[in-house]
Amino acid sequence: MKLTQLRNATLIVEAGPNRVLVDPMLAPAGAIPALKYATARRRRNPLVDLPPGTDQRLNTVTHALITHCQKGHFDHLDRAGAKWLRQRGIAVFCMEGDADFLSGKGLTVRPLRENIRQPFLGGWVTPVPCLHGRGLVGRMMAHGHGYHLEWPDEPSLYLAGDTLLTDTVRQHLRERRPAVTVIPAGGARFDLGGDIIMGREAALQVARLSAGRVVANHLEALDHCPVSRAELRDARDRAGLRQQLLIPEDGETLVFEAESGTFGETDGEALA
């Protein structure tokens, strides 16, 4: 299995003949308004462009998978991402609650059911509920779902989605023991309220809990995500979790083997 980190939560999962694009935010840098206003310097989003070779990588995509997309969550499906999917007729898997919203954008939708392990591209998918913030902010959010993916002869993969570290997530890590887990680690928060996704300390906790490797993303692409890769790497190394917690750069591909759970790295242009 190959995971190519593109930007923020956008990545490509390569397993067998499948190339699954997750949460496509494809707009150029600065195309979307800021998310934080109580700051001395407002920054438009995304903060960075997509990495070199993205167009070639996108040309390999066979399907898409959306964790959440309503209530203004452009960082998981923006206008550029929806246009790209629509023009290419890519089948888009999503939860039933998002199906009508995405169909209204002219997308080819394949709804997934809640709370059940179900067939998915020659394997299986199990949706796992997210908690995208608590309190007043949490009531305003589209919480969405993560996905536990299983294919024959591939390592199991848990895409946690935009979530805090909840009892549901902990239970899933303990009981399903995914070989690879992708988590949001940017510590996102708005001007008011607490974190709406995992941050540095939660990422370390997941690395300690997990039986497999943990991949951190949702970093350095949005103005309301303060955690940097350098900060997270420093905390990881001081905690002795260098082998457990992986922090890819945009454009980097990680390769995971089913038999041993080991991983390797390819050149950033390997899928171009």
Question: What does the pLDDT average to over 151-160?
Answer: 97
- Give 73 or 128, the one with higher predicted confidence: 128
Question: What does the pLDDT average to over 187-193?
Answer: 81
Q: Does pLDDT of 215 surpass 90?
A: yes
Which pLDDT value is given to residue 62?
A: 98
**pLDDT tens-digit map of 159-187:** 999 999 999 999 999 999 999 999 999 99
Question: What does the pLDDT average to over 106-123?
Answer: 96
Question: What does the pLDDT average to over 117-141?
Answer: 85
Question: What does the pLDDT average to over 78-96?
Answer: 97
Question: What does the pLDDT average to over 149-159?
Answer: 97
- Mean pLDDT (the chain, rounded): 90
Which pLDDT value is given to residue 119?
A: 97
Lowest mean pLDDT among 25-34, 103-112, 124-133, 188-197: 188-197
Token duo for residue 90? 């890519």
Question: What does the pLDDT average to over 251-256?
Answer: 98
Q: Phi and psi (nearest 5°) for 37?
A: -115, -25
Which pLDDT value is given to residue 145?
A: 95
Q: What CA–CA distances, in Å, run from 27 to 4, 9, 32? A: 18, 13, 8
Question: What does the pLDDT average to over 243-252?
Answer: 98
What's the pTM?
0.92
Question: SS3 of 137, please?
Answer: helix
CB 7 within 8 A of CB 46: yes
Q: Phi and psi (nearest 5°) for 240?
A: 70, 30
Q: How far apart are CA 83 and CA 169, in angstroms?
A: 32
Q: Does pLDDT of 266 surpass 60?
A: no
Tokens 């750069």 map to which residue? 249
